[in-house]
Structure 1
Amino acid sequence: MNAAHTPARPRARLTGVGGALPKRIVTNAELSERLDTSDEWISARTGIKQRHVVSEGENAVSLSTAAARIALERAGVGSANVDAVIVATSTPDQVFPSVAVRVQAELGMAQGFGFDVSAACSGFIYALSTANAFIQSGQSKRVLVIGVDVFSRLLDWEDRSTCVLFGDGAGAVLLEAGAKEGEGVLSTHLHADGRHGDLLYVDGAVGNPGIGSKTVVKMQGREVFRHAITHLASAVDEALAANGLHSSDIQWMVPHQANLRIIDGMAKKLGLGSERVVVTVDRHANTSAASVPLALYEATKDGRIAKGDLVLMEALGGGLTWGSALVRL
């Protein structure tokens, strides 16, 4: 008697990428007019030259919707065929409804489900992993994954140690079932260590009244930097080992765009030349959960990253949270 055949799990492929940035650009020179800083000081320490900041009429939902429309258009898929929307964000426009269901409404979706994920700057990797699991389980065939943050809402614009670091933006990808063996999302790897939550945080919550005036980013930059290099290297090694690959197999690294020094440090550890690393931090600053998909959008749009390329994505954020993903487009 033959053993029962177990069908292979569906595999997720990434079919469309989109991005959106606010219209307003704030340069280092503009910040230096009201802060004790300079373009040289900011650039030397972070690699950042400018950032985009929302204006009236722009918010997490509008940026997410714009990025989602581009991703769907590039995938050739209508919103009526999307089963779920998962949004990674630390800066929703409302406590509830979630950004995800607001995007559903803007896209005219009357089907499926949506929810937000909170994992700070690692949020997109967390959301991508969640969407991949829905597809592997067979519960969903197409999932829209969005990373969006409007950190200009959370900044003390008189604190030069934090306000120069962040920008606003959104990035989106569409995952669809149907990847062949060796293609699509090869693996994702998620981690967190709440013992280090006080290294990077924002106070203020609905359940914590009276603290709203203190809702600004607080960060111990040196400690975050130290943890970033260690944890990201470990997560990358984990992803490569899980797939029997070596760093030389990676065509592109699309890292979280927090600081050029961290990006360069990771590239050096992997032995990757700068020509194989996507960098947008100079123009976008740190857009938190949006930074990885925004960088991926830019590099696929200009043709650097092409179909069949092996792409490594990684990020670390407040929590501390961190993770990696290997995707063959």
Structure 2
Amino acid sequence: MSIKITGVGSFIPGLKRKNSDFLKHEFRNNDGSHFPHNNEVTIEKFKAITGIEERRYLEENLCTSDMATVAAQNALEDSGIDPETLDYIIVAHNYGDVKNGSIQSDSVPSLATRVKHNLRIKNPKCVGYDVLFGCPGWIEAVIQAQAFMRAGMAKKCLVIGAEALSRVVDKHDRDSMIFSDGSGAVVLEVTSEEGGILAHESATFAYQEAHHIYFGASNHSEAANDTRYIKMNGRKIYEFALTEVPAAMKTCLENSGKTISDVKKIFIHQANEKMDDAIIHRFYKLHKTPMPPNVMPMSIQELGNSSVATVPTLLDLVIKGKIEGQELHRGDVIMFASVGAGMNINAIVYQY
């Protein structure tokens, strides 16, 4: 028995926001003070570090559950299964449905329930629930789904990652330029084929690291005091990720029975181009092996950081041939890895 991805799908919002769209923003430091340089310099430095040139924002009339539904429909169509035969629908997100112009998150009913309703699935034994696990949420939801399947509790699962971070960013925070919106989904099935999920690894570091990413007030002192936005301590996250993510990936690979030379692609959470590159270099360094070229597909340049959606969206784009120079072949050993709020990290070794 193996557990394989039999369908992939994504939803990439249509509203493009280029770096130049932030030229008139009034960015401030965490203490409310003004930046010592103008926005042209700020944006230039931002692009050099993150690699982001543009990002996608959700249309005003849509919410996160709408994106999740479209990605789910695409994955189901790709798999060819009857939605009524699904055992679980698991949706990873962090902020629920936040309507345009609102500051209130709506997670009741759960986004999984909303997606099931939108898909018009009648079967009550198709169970829907949400996962809140920071940016690694989609990978963790895949890990949970395969646990159900190995335990004989499910044969088919729909796993979705969806987030609209544009609805919870502080426009006075330079980090707001990182975040974007999107959704990706996969159908997992129990099959008799070889491969599929070979190993996984998860961890939560909360003793000192719990609040590296948090909800906080605007950097502008005159903004509404009762409104909170996504905030992060970038330096601490960078240092944490460079140590813990490669170590988790190494353990995961060892548990899979595969070697570093077997790995063809690594789908890492699109958090920050410089950080992602450093993580993968460190991972290969742990194996005393140089990082091979073209092993790390990237979409952050055009799509930004859409949290739980980055990995499944990237997978869909590569499989559908939409990222130049990147492709997968039957039997390829690949890895998924992520780090995010919690501080949570995880990884999966998968044979395509």
TM-score normalised per structure 2: 0.85
**In structure 2, what is the Cα distance between the partners aligned to 1:179 and 1:251?**
23
Q: Is the 8 A contact 1:239 1:326 kept in 2?
A: yes
1:68/1:173 contact within 8 Å kept = yes
Cross-structure match for 1:223? 236
Partner residue, 1:208: none
Q: Which runs of 5+ in 1 are unaligned?
A: 1-9, 205-210
Deviations 1:229-249 (A, max 9, x none): 111101110111102222211
Task: Show the 5 A alignment for 1:15-30.
Answer: 15-30=6-21
Deviations 1:144-168 (A, max 9, x none): 00011111111101111x2011100
Measured in 1, the distance between the counterparts of 2:275 and 2:259 equals 21
1:179 and 1:85 mapped to 2: Cα distance? 22
Matches within 5 A, 1:151-162: 151-160=165-174, 162=175
- Superposed structure 1 runs of 4+ greater than 4 Å apart: none
Identity %: 29
* 8 A Cα contact 1:12 1:132, kept in partner: yes
Alignment of 1:176-255 (within 5 A): 176-181=189-194, 183-195=195-207, 196-202=209-215, 213-255=226-268
- For structure 2, the residue ranges without an aligned partner over 5 or more in a row are 27-37, 98-105, 218-223, 285-289
Q: Which amino acid aligns with 1:143?
A: C
Where does residue 188 of structure 2 map in the other structure?
175
Aligned-partner Cα distance in 1 for 2:351–2:267: 13
* Shift of residue 223, structure 1, vs aligned partner: 0.6
Task: Please say if 1:71 is aligned against 2:75.
Answer: yes
The separation in 2 between residues aligned to 1:254 and 1:136, in whole angstroms, is 24
Query: Relative to total residues, which structure has the larger helix share, 1 or 2?
Result: 1
Query: 2:265 is aligned with what amino acid?
Result: W
1:203 is displaced (CA, Å) by 5.1
Deviation at 1:134, TM superposition (A): 0.9
Tell me what 1:163 maps to: 176
Tell me, yes or no, if the aligned pair for 2:241 and 2:279 is still in contact at 8 Å. Answer: no
Q: What count of residue pairs does the alignment treat as equivalent?
A: 312
- Equivalent residue in structure 2 for 1:309, among 327, 332, 351: 332
- The alpha carbon displacement at 1:81 in A equals 1.9
Give the partner amino acid of 1:259: N
Residues in 2 aligned to 1:259 and 1:325: alpha-carbon distance in whole angstroms: 20
Corresponding position of 1:130: 144
Match of 2:39 in 1: 37
Counterparts of 1:101-120 in structure 2 under 5 Å?
101-111=113-123, 112-120=126-134
Counterpart position of 1:288? 307
Bigger mean CA offset, 115-124 vs 305-314? 305-314
Q: Is 1:257 paired with 2:257?
A: no
* Superposed CA RMSD: 1.7
Give the letter aligned to residue 227 of structure 1: F
